[in-house]
Amino acid sequence: MNLNNLHPAEGSIKTRKRVGRGAGSGLGGTSTRGHKGAKSRSGYSKKIGFEGGQMPLQRRVPKYGFKNINRVEYKAINLSTLQALAEEKQLTKVTIKDFIEAGFVSSKHLVKILGNGSLTTKLEVEANAFSKSAVAAIEAVGGNAVKL
């Protein structure tokens, strides 16, 4: 093997398709663009949502609903999760900081305690909001629900 007899593997090199270089090339005339229409012209770029002149979907479908700008989003934590956390870490007072450390919420979220599951441990729970059933369940075992 020498430098003068090195060559690439068979079939690894393909010649570039030279479009629009006369009829003799076999790729002249329409230059692989078909006949007429916007796509055959230079400078063509399809608009977002364009459907070939058909009425586009975003104009066919009516506007629907609205977003309430005053909505307050809470991360829900159930009593069963609260009970598991209290048992695991032997807590008597559960705060939002404990939920963040456990990975249930991030520091930017608001927390709401919901009444799904059962609570057996007497706990003082601090959160941004509580459901009525959660407050009733916490107070039923002698605990305290503190709204921040």
For 27-53, the pLDDT digits (tens) are 999 999 999 998 999 999 989 999 989
| d(C-alpha 105, C-alpha 99), whole Å | 6
CATH number given to 74-147 = 3.100.10.10
Q: Is the pLDDT of residue 1 over 90?
A: no
Q: C-alpha distances in angstroms, 35 versus 24, 45, 51? A: 19, 17, 19
Overall average pLDDT of the 48-60 stretch: 93
Overall average pLDDT of the 2-10 stretch: 93
The domain locations on the chain are 74-147
Q: Which two tokens stand for residue 68?
A: 């309430």
135 pLDDT tier (thresholds 50, 70, 90): very high
Q: Is the pLDDT of residue 82 over 90?
A: yes
pLDDT value of position 36: 93
Overall average pLDDT of the 139-144 stretch: 94
Q: Which two tokens stand for residue 129?
A: 């909001």
pLDDT value of position 128: 96
At residue 101, φ and ψ (nearest 5 deg) are -65, -35
Max Cα distance, the chain (Å): 94
